[in-house]
Structure 1
Amino acid sequence: MMEDFNSETDSDYTSYWRDWFVSSRGNEYFCEIDEDYLTDRFNLTGLNTEVPYYQYALDLVTDVFDLDADDDLREQIEKSARHLYGLVHARYIVTTRGLAKMLDKYKKCDFGKCPRVICDGHPLLPMGQSDLPSMSTVKLYCPKCEDIYNPKSSRHASIDGAYFGTSFHSILFQVYPALSPEKSVRRYEPRIYGFKVHAAAALARWQDNQREDLHWRLRDFGVPFKFIEDSDSEDEDVDYEYTEKGTEGSKDDKVVGDTASGRMDLNN
């Protein structure tokens, strides 16, 4: 992968790697991180424990990488460099400069448009559901319907969500409140021949589904039950019924009583 680098100077080599990474297919969601941000060690605090071959990866992204490594080691370092760039990217895009770059991409719909019809193709923003790497992949947030969606492309769907973080999209609209769209309050209303479906019918269907679900859960736990709505035919499945205040004994009590009566008859 890196064998294609034919830059003559060290600075061109570094710049070319970042340009190559951002322009690669599948990395369209990323913006280019400023070199002065990457060279400030304060911005990289704690990443040395999260990235294998950290120093080599940092040299590859920010400085001259002159290690004479075999192909396997070079591939591992390149993988670490991409991971390091992603983790730094999550920190960079919440800075003033990073927000401005991502805002430009947002305005150009580089992240796609909302698939919800009522949102009228509103631009999306990348976001993560976790700030920890390898927990979840990147999602796309629509600020109009305030819902999240999976990317259409499989190349984008495999990007780690930690490379964008959980706060970026919210911070963007805190810094640029004028860009916050009016929330979508319209909802699709199902109709039959132009008439709205009665809400009571939908509620009755929901109640039936809930009752059926409860029915099966009670059976799974072995809990005896009987709904008041059950038909009288189900009474035949009940072995016996509990009576009020013991006026009539249970089925077991009746068997014991019959046995005792038999013994008394034999003694007579």
Structure 2
Amino acid sequence: MLRRTVEELSTGSDSDYSNSWISWFLSSKGNEYFCEVEEDYILDRFNLTGLNTEVANYSQALDLITDNLDDEIQDELRGSLDVQARLLYGLIHARWIVTARGLAKMLEKYKKADFGRCPRVLCQSQPLLPVGLTDIPYEKSVKLYCARCEDIYSPKSSRHGSIDGAYFGTSFPHLLFLVYPHLIPPKSGPPDVSAASGSTSTSGGREEGGKRVAGRRAREEVDVGVAEGVGEGASTAAAAMKADRYRPKIFGFHVHEIAKLQRWQEAVRDKQVVKLEEIDV
């Protein structure tokens, strides 16, 4: 399905190639998430190690990206080569954005909220970052990661939703925050739970306020679970359990501090699930 969508978006006339291929690609609708990969990075074959086994017609696709393609190539092959060029540029892009210069370019887009903002009210319009759920192309589309609630969302635009997640990789957003730790936002939640819930300042009031916030959080997680394909007839507790937690990783390894925090969060969630099961019964 994802492969067919990419091929459908790869149409273009001969006039589209009057400028450089990369300029045309970045200016095409739906490619606003991508940043420009520096030509020096692309021309360094060391940076492209292993991509020749993942992309068909690798040499010609690379020539198309770098505007070195022979003009005598048959027109009927240009469409298929463009699909391979998109794939190759996307995989190069995933490697580029985890370099120092690539992170700096994506940081500019992040500060302008080019990837959108978190829809949750408590996240206070936190800018999002693109992330892939796998580094293997044609498996999962790109998702948007919120550093406040630590959850992922699907892009609103269908054009953006058809972008392959492998073009951004699984490590980018978390590596960005490790390089720029001052950008890590505070976790979602009101500054004063008792004030937000309207309860008194007594310990009982704080506990009640905490229950309300926990319940609201649980309902939000259930909504995410239903969106992921949980049946409407399923119980609330079952829906909560099927809502998978997103686990930030860098090159396959869990981020230590986040992993520690998630263990605590999951313990709180498990307690809430027990309460939901009692309600369902």
Assess same fold via TM > 0.5: yes
Could you tell me which of 16, 39, 61 is aligned with 1:35? 39
Distance 1:118 1:185, change over 3 A: closer
Aligned counterparts of 2:145 and 2:128: Cα–Cα separation in 1: 5
Output the TM-score relative to the length of structure 2.
Answer: 0.65
Q: CA deviation at 1:69?
A: 3.2
Q: CA deviation at 1:72?
A: 2.9
Q: Which residue of 1 aligns with 2:277?
A: 206
Q: Which residue of 2 aligns with 1:150?
A: 154
Aligned counterparts of 1:133 and 1:6: Cα–Cα separation in 2: 25
What amino acid maps onto 1:4 in structure 2? S
Aligned counterparts of 1:43 and 1:6: Cα–Cα separation in 2: 25
Q: Which residue of 1 aligns with 2:53?
A: 49
What amino acid maps onto 2:21 in structure 1? W
Q: Which residue of 1 aligns with 2:5?
A: none
Q: CA deviation at 1:68?
A: 2.5
Q: How many residues align?
A: 201
Aligned counterparts of 1:205 and 1:77: Cα–Cα separation in 2: 53
Give SS of 1:90's match: helix
Distance 1:77 1:178, change over 3 A: same
> What percentage of aligned pairs have identical amino acids?
57
What amino acid maps onto 1:29 in structure 2? Y
Q: Which residue of 2 aligns with 1:165?
A: 169
Aligned counterparts of 1:149 and 1:109: Cα–Cα separation in 2: 15
Aligned counterparts of 1:55 and 1:205: Cα–Cα separation in 2: 57
Aligned counterparts of 1:45 and 1:61: Cα–Cα separation in 2: 16
Is the Cα–Cα contact under 8 Å of residues 64 and 85 in structure 2 kept in the other structure? yes
- Aligned residue runs from structure 1 range 180-259, under 5 A: 180-186=184-190, 206-207=277-278, 209=280
Which whole-Å deviations, capped at 9, do the CAs of 1:115-149 have from their partners, x for residues lacking one? 01111111000000111111111000011111110
Where in structure 2 are there 5+ consecutive unaligned residues?
1-11, 198-204, 216-271
Q: CA deviation at 1:89?
A: 0.2
Of 176-185 and 162-171, deviating more is 176-185
The structure with the largest alpha-carbon Rg is 1
Distance 1:56 1:171, change over 3 A: same
Q: Which residue of 2 aligns with 1:103?
A: 107
Q: Which residue of 1 aligns with 2:85?
A: 81
Which whole-Å deviations, capped at 9, do the CAs of 1:100-129 have from their partners, x for residues lacking one? 000000000100011011111110000001
- Cα RMSD of the aligned pairs, angstroms, is 2.8
Residues 1:70 and 2:70 are matched in the alignment: no
Q: CA deviation at 1:206?
A: 2.3
Output the TM-score relative to the length of structure 1.
Answer: 0.68
Q: Which residue of 1 aligns with 2:138?
A: 134
Q: CA deviation at 1:6?
A: 6.4
Q: CA deviation at 1:186?
A: 3.8
Distance 1:62 1:145, change over 3 A: same
Distance 1:117 1:74, change over 3 A: same
Could you tell me which of 52, 59, 62 is aligned with 1:58? 62
What amino acid maps onto 2:55 in structure 1? V
Where in structure 1 are there 5+ consecutive unaligned residues?
8-12, 212-268
Aligned counterparts of 1:197 and 1:106: Cα–Cα separation in 2: 34
Q: CA deviation at 1:204?
A: 6.0
Which protein has greater RCO, CA pairs closer than 8 Å, 6+ apart? Answer: 2
Aligned counterparts of 1:198 and 1:120: Cα–Cα separation in 2: 20
Distance 1:62 1:205, change over 3 A: closer
Give SS of 2:41's match: helix
Aligned counterparts of 1:60 and 1:25: Cα–Cα separation in 2: 20
